[in-house]
Structures are given as structure tokens and as C-alpha cells.
A and B are shown apart, each in its own frame.
Chain A
Amino acid sequence: MAATPLLELNGIDKSFGPVQVLHDVGLSVYPGEVTALVGDNGAGKSTLVKCVSGIYTIDSGTITFDGNPVAIHSPRDASALGIEVVYQDLALCDNLDIVQNMFLGREKKRGIVLDEPTMEQMAGDTLASLSVRTVKSLRQLVASLSGGQRQTVAIAKAVLWNSRVVILDEPTAALGVAQTAQVLELVRRLADNGLGVVLISHNMNDVFAVSDRIAALYLGRMAAQVKATEVTHSQIVELITAGRSGNLGLPPEKPSDFNGDVVDITPGGDQ
């Protein structure tokens, strides 16, 4: 296992006006591992992802990438570092084909002309590296693809750019059983290829099926970040719903509730 995290967040605060959405959040993403980010609705998962991807700027805290502190002010900064996000609604254009979608916004050119053969070849190579062999043609319109295939294209689009960290927002939410299995297999393969993968999911089966670490957010705070093998299903559910489970998780809110147990509130507190 890699000892140093590829992406490390420390003490991230984010407010929208008077509402503080993230309190002192920390998160570590290791290369070659899937880190699941779980939490109830409104826990701040999406906000955290948008902070990392540069859509929101953080109020305070540090982001360390590959050991160096970095500032991410825009999606371009995040892309330049190699951080890619696959959004829940995929952000694909139905009226464009697979290759056109994968290169959208970053088209390869020869002079002023689009270099279609190069793009098609790169797209094909990327899909092949993910062991995707289910498309009829790379020139198929995305509109004609199934949900699982679209998810695959969206993920392939994210890894096309030699990205180091891929963040997947609920990749299986809208998929059937077989397609979910396909996508989870793909997620695992990304990590096996050495990428740092962050998987946001509500589905505990999915989380335990592929993740190495689980980070649970509770009301804008990082309740715990633990190894998947060291916790049970129900512990994670408690972390999501109550913010703590046994000696894991956030400290009790009132000092009088504090029963003297050793409380581990640091992110990556499994060490």
C-alpha cells in the first residue's frame, strides 16, 4: 500500500453566506485505492467534491497534491493537476458521438482543423485500457447508448487525460444490477491502474464491494475515515446517521455526554 496520500485535504472550511457547509474537513486519497465518500443528504459530499474540482473555492484549509500544497481556483486548475470529476448527471452531449464527447473542450487539432483520427485512436486506446469492448462504434451518438455505457464513456473521458485522481459522483445510482456490476468492476480497474479513486455512493453494497477506505461525512464534518476491512456495514450506517459509532466518529456534542472513551476524530484515524 502506498504510504503517502496522493491528494490530502486538511481543515477545509466552506460557508455559503451564514451557512457553514463544511467544518474542518480532512480527507486522504491514496493511489491505487478506492476511497468511498459516504454521508446523508446534505452532509456536504457534493460541496466537498466541488471544492476539490475548483467549482467552489475553499474558505480555509489546505489541499496537498502529491506532497505539494496546491491552490485550486477553477476546474482548469483541477484538470491541470490531474483531478477529474464524473458528475452524477454525466455531463455528456446526446447529439455528439463517443469520441466527440470524450474530447469535449480539449479537442486535438492539426492547425485549425480537428484531428479526428488521432482523437478516435486515443479514445479507442483508453476504452481498451479499461477493457471496454461493448460499443458498436466509436462514432455512435451518445444518445443511443445504455445507461451503463454512458457511465463508461463518462469515466473513460475522465481517465483520458492521464488523470491521477478520479472522483465519481453516484456512478451507479441510475443503473440496473448487471450494469452496476460492470461499472463497479470498472471503478476497481481504475484503482488497479494506480489512480486515486473517490467514490461517492449511498449504496452500502457498492461501497463495501469496491472500496479500500471509507470516509463518512456527517453534517459537514468528517466523522471518520477508516479501512473498509475494519468496519462493518452497521458501523458505517451509524456514522452516516449519527456521526459516530462506538469509539469511531465525532466526539459527543455536549461534554456531559462524553464518557471518557478514546475518540478518534482525525481523518485517516485508522493509523
Chain B
Amino acid sequence: MSTTTTTTAGGVQVVKPTVASHLYDYWGRVRGGDLGSLPAVLGLVILSLIFGVARDTFFSSLNFANMFSQGAQYVFIAMGLVFVLLLGEIDLSAGFASGVCGAVMAIMLTTHGWPWYAAIPAAMVTGIVIGFVLGFLVAKFGIPSFVVTLAAFLAFQGILLYLLGGGKNISITDTFVLKLANGNLSAALSWALTIVAVVGYALIQLNRVRSRAARGLVTDPIGIVGLRIGGLAVVLLIATAILTQERSINPVLTSVKGIPIVVPIIAFFLVIWTFVLGRTTYGRHVYAVGGNTEAARRAGIPVDRIRISVFVICSFMASIGGILAVSRANSVDPNTGGSNILLYSVGAAVIGGTSLFGGKGKAINAVIGGAVITVIDNGMGLMGYSAGTKYIVTGLILLVAASVDALARRRAAATGNR
């Protein structure tokens, strides 16, 4: 294979990548410890095959659709946690923060009779305020985030009990809120959404290649770009085809088909946070603070403000998770956002490829990791394992993911690729 060199950007010689060299470089990065989401994707495929072989119902369209609303809360909280983890911090209170936000929404809807379009923002604002307080304590007082959020974890548990009048269960009846986690898009809208997503992704990718080529900069080989677009198109089209099947147990009574409404909500936040992290100054600064705080400070980046902001984003996303959890359960109780939710969410972010050491992670990690967690939870439930076994297995998988992260980091340090 001939390597052609090209002169780019003012005369610096660089190698023009071909499809083969691009793949080779990727493999080199993986070997050098830059794994990204690769282990999670492989794990997802393997786990799905195991559960699919063991239980026919695992691959049924009903179960497939179910998993989206089952995993949504983890995914939303994990997306927020990615920001906190990028700075090498942790938010242990995100689970109960989502519970508190969900309770605020439920109380506004029921006790105060607010409409959904006032109650949902109230929950979001609650999340933002919580995040600001946590971030302020961490950034300005210098208390380790572990301690601040551990204290908040306990306190929010208490606030949730207090809000629910000592442990009562508040049921909600607002149809809009209930639809968020339980409703589906119509089949036509489902297909339209999928096509918009694929075409939008293709346009963004091609536009990047075009604008870089116009400036004489090195571009990804067109074969790779085609592969990315084609891959996304295949996955989305197959998923849409499955989800637009009739999946009602008794189709005569009710028809259930279409993409669950949580999917576009997840996609919306995925696009937003991917854009923020990858394409804005703010995102760049988050990575910089996570990679080298001192360098960021010297570059004039307001480190404290960045630190507060990631906690705000995390608690805000927790509030979205809380709203979805309440919608899914039709009610809020003292355990909403409790038990395993936080650990599953941290697990989702880490399994997806976000580093616990800061500086490395993407919004998509939360989605992929959340998918892995949900598949385990769902698949083992179908196979009739007890909650005890599920926790043990999930714990082990989180441990594996954290080990992969730590080992990859050591490997990266050894190959000078950290």
C-alpha cells in the first residue's frame, strides 16, 4: 500500500490517511489504551446474544421497546455524570436528586394542581439549584466532591421522605407526563424521525469533509465516512422496523407500535451534549480542566465556574431522569431514585468508556453504557434470576469496566498515549 503524503496547513508534512491506514491507526489507539466505547459495544453484542439464545422473549419487539423506558433514567443521569466524571469528580447524590426533582413535579401536578408545562420546569429548576449548591461547595470551599455529594445523598433521601409526608406514595394522572415514558410515536412519525436522523448525520459528516477539504486540510477517507453513515443507517432502520411492528399482547383491544417517546428525548439530549462537548468553547474547557487544571487556569479558563457548571448539568440531567422515572412508575415514592439507580448510572457512564480519572468521556458513552446495564437487568430478569443475583452480576461488570479503564490508563501511560 502506498502512503501518499500531503502538505497541509502552511506546509507541515502529514500523511494522508487511506481507509486501511485509518483502521490501522484506530487499532493502534485501541492497543495503546484508548479504548473508547469498544468494550461496551462488544459486551452489548455478546450479552444480547446470550440472553437472546436463552430466552426467545428477549428479542421480541415488546421487550425491545420496554428496555428503552426501563433504561432511560440511567441514561439521563449517566449523561450528567459524564460531565462530572470528565473533571475527575463524582456525584453520589444524583440518584436521590432525581427522586427529589420527580417528587417536586408530582407535588406541583397533584397538590398544587399545576399544569405539566409548569410542573416539569419546576422540577428542572430544582435540579439546577441542587447542582449549583453542590458545585459551589466543591469549587469554592474545596470540599472533595465525594464528601459533599455523600452528605447530599443522605440529605436528599431525607428531603424526599419529608416531601412525601413521611413515606406516602403520590400518584400522578397527568396524561402528558404519563406519555413521556409510556407513549409511542405513530409509525409514520417514527419513520420520519429515523430518516431525519440518518440524513442529518450524513449531512453533518459530509459537510465536515467538504469544509476541511476546501481549506486543504487532511480529511477522513471518504470510505470511512461512508462506513459511519451506512452503519448508523442500518442500525437505526432495523431498530425502527422492529419498533413499528405491532407488539400489543392483545392487538384487538389496543394497538401498541412505534418508537417509544423516550427515544427522541434521549436522542435530543445526546445531540445537545455531544454538540456542547465537541463543538463549543465550553466543552473544550471542560476537557481542559479535566486533563490539566493548572494548564486550564493559566490559559485563563474560569476553572471554578466550569466546576460548578458540570454539577449543574449533572443535577439538571438527574431531574430529567427523575421526571421520566415518575412517568414510568405513574407515581413517586420514597425509593424513587434510590436503591441501585445511582450505581447503575455511574456504572453506565464508566462501562460506556468515560474515565473515572477525568478528561476522557463523551455523551454517547452514557447511552451505550446505559444500554449494557439495561440489557443485563432486563435479560437476567427474564431468565428469572433474583434481584440478589442481578446486583452481584451488575457489580462485577462495573468492576470489570473500572478495571478496563484503569488498565487502559496504565497501558496508555506506558505507550506514551495517556
Report yes or no: A96 in contact with B417, Cβ–Cβ below 8 A: no
A255 interfacial contact with B, CB 8 Å? no
Q: Residues of B contacting A90 with CB < 8 Å? A: 295
Report yes or no: A143 in contact with B417, Cβ–Cβ below 8 A: yes
Q: A117-B211, A143-B416 are in contact. Are A128 and B11 (CB under 8 A)?
A: yes
**B182-190, B298-306, B314-322, B383-391: which lies at the interface:** B298-306
Report yes or no: B298 in contact with A133, Cβ–Cβ below 8 A: no
B13 interfacial contact with A, CB 8 Å? yes
Cross-interface CB contact of B299 among A105, A133, A144, cutoff 8 Å: A105
Q: Residues of B contacting A141 with CB < 8 Å? A: 417
Report yes or no: B298 in contact with A93, Cβ–Cβ below 8 A: no
Tell me the residues in window 11-37 of chain B with beta carbons closer than 8 Å to chain A beta carbons: 11-15, 32
Query: Which residue of chain A has its CB nearest to the CB of B360?
Result: A95
A181 interfacial contact with B, CB 8 Å? no
Report yes or no: B10 in contact with A135, Cβ–Cβ below 8 A: no
Q: Residues of A contacting B215 with CB < 8 Å? A: 117, 120-121
A129 interfacial contact with B, CB 8 Å? yes
18 pairs of residues in contact across A and B, judged by CB atoms under 8 Å: A75-B300, A87-B298, A90-B295, A93-B296, A95-B359, A95-B418, A100-B284, A106-B299, A113-B280, A121-B215, A124-B10, A124-B12, A125-B9, A127-B10, A135-B12, A138-B14, A143-B412, A146-B416
A125 to B10, CA, bound (A): 4
A105 to B215, CA, bound (A): 24
B228 interfacial contact with A, CB 8 Å? no
Q: Residues of B contacting A46 with CB < 8 Å? A: none
Report yes or no: B416 in contact with A91, Cβ–Cβ below 8 A: no
Query: Which residue of chain B has its CB nearest to the CB of A154?
Result: B295
A137 to B281, CA, bound (A): 22
A184 to B306, CA, bound (A): 37
Complex interface bits, A74-100 against B, C-beta within 8 A gives 1, otherwise 0: 011001000000010111111110001
B218 interfacial contact with A, CB 8 Å? yes
A132 interfacial contact with B, CB 8 Å? yes
Report yes or no: B12 in contact with A133, Cβ–Cβ below 8 A: yes
Q: Residues of A contacting B212 with CB < 8 Å? A: 117
Report yes or no: B284 in contact with A121, Cβ–Cβ below 8 A: no
Tell me the residues in window 245-289 of chain B with beta carbons closer than 8 Å to chain A beta carbons: 279-281, 284-285, 287-288
Q: Which of B12, B279, B285, B417 has the most CB of A within 10 A?
A: B12
Known: A104-B295, A139-B218. 18 other contacts (CB 8 A): A75-B300, A76-B300, A93-B296, A93-B359, A94-B359, A96-B291, A105-B288, A114-B281, A117-B212, A117-B217, A123-B9, A124-B11, A124-B12, A125-B9, A126-B10, A128-B9, A136-B15, A138-B9
B290 interfacial contact with A, CB 8 Å? yes
Query: Which residue of chain B has its CB nearest to the CB of A104?
Result: B299
A139 to B287, CA, bound (A): 15
Q: With both chains docked as a complex, state the minimum distance between the C-beta of B356 and any C-beta of chain A, in angstroms.
A: 14
A95 to B280, CA, bound (A): 16
Total residue contacts A-B, CB cutoff 8 A: 115
Chain B: residues with Cβ within 8 Å of the partner, total of: 37
Report yes or no: A93 in contact with B288, Cβ–Cβ below 8 A: yes
A96 to B288, CA, bound (A): 7
Q: A96-B287, A105-B301, A144-B416 are in contact. Are A114 and B14 (CB under 8 A)?
A: no
A107 interfacial contact with B, CB 8 Å? yes
B292 interfacial contact with A, CB 8 Å? yes
A133 to B281, CA, bound (A): 28
Cross-interface CB contact of A92 among B15, B280, B292, cutoff 8 Å: B292
A109 interfacial contact with B, CB 8 Å? yes
Q: A104-B296, A114-B280, A114-B284 are in contact. Are A94 and B12 (CB under 8 A)?
A: no
Interface, chain A (partner B; CB < 8 A):
75-76, 79, 87, 89-96, 100, 104-107, 109, 112-114, 117, 120-121, 123-129, 132-133, 135-139, 141, 143-144, 146
Q: Residues of B contacting A113 with CB < 8 Å? A: 279-280
B340 interfacial contact with A, CB 8 Å? no
Q: Residues of A contacting B280 with CB < 8 Å? A: 112-114
A13 to B40, CA, bound (A): 59
Q: Residues of A contacting B359 with CB < 8 Å? A: 93-95
Q: Residues of B contacting A126 with CB < 8 Å? A: 10
Report yes or no: B9 in contact with A120, Cβ–Cβ below 8 A: yes
Q: Residues of B contacting A146 with CB < 8 Å? A: 416
Report yes or no: B217 in contact with A120, Cβ–Cβ below 8 A: yes
For the complex of A and B, the 7 pairs showing the least CB-CB separation, nearest first, are A124-B9, A105-B299, A125-B10, A93-B291, A95-B291, A128-B10, A91-B295
Q: With both chains docked as a complex, state the minimum distance between the C-beta of B359 and any C-beta of chain A, in angstroms.
A: 4
Q: Residues of B contacting A94 with CB < 8 Å? A: 291-292, 359, 418
Report yes or no: A91 in contact with B292, Cβ–Cβ below 8 A: yes
A92 to B360, CA, bound (A): 15
Q: With both chains docked as a complex, state the minimum distance between the C-beta of B4 and any C-beta of chain A, in angstroms.
A: 14
Q: With both chains docked as a complex, state the minimum distance between the C-beta of A43 and any C-beta of chain B, in angstroms.
A: 23
Report yes or no: B294 in contact with A129, Cβ–Cβ below 8 A: no
Query: Which residue of chain B has its CB nearest to the CB of A92?
Result: B295
Query: Which residue of chain B has its CB nearest to the CB of A100?
Result: B284
Q: With both chains docked as a complex, state the minimum distance between the C-beta of B209 and any C-beta of chain A, in angstroms.
A: 11
Report yes or no: B13 in contact with A104, Cβ–Cβ below 8 A: no
Q: A91-B292, A95-B291, A121-B215 are in contact. Are A114 and B279 (CB under 8 A)?
A: yes
Report yes or no: A129 in contact with B418, Cβ–Cβ below 8 A: no
Q: Residues of B contacting A125 with CB < 8 Å? A: 9-10
A191 to B200, CA, bound (A): 49
Cross-interface CB contact of B281 among A89, A91, A109, cutoff 8 Å: A109
A74 to B298, CA, bound (A): 11
B60 interfacial contact with A, CB 8 Å? no
Q: A94-B418, A95-B287, A114-B279 are in contact. Are A128 and B295 (CB under 8 A)?
A: no
Cross-interface CB contact of B14 among A89, A92, A123, A137, cutoff 8 Å: A137
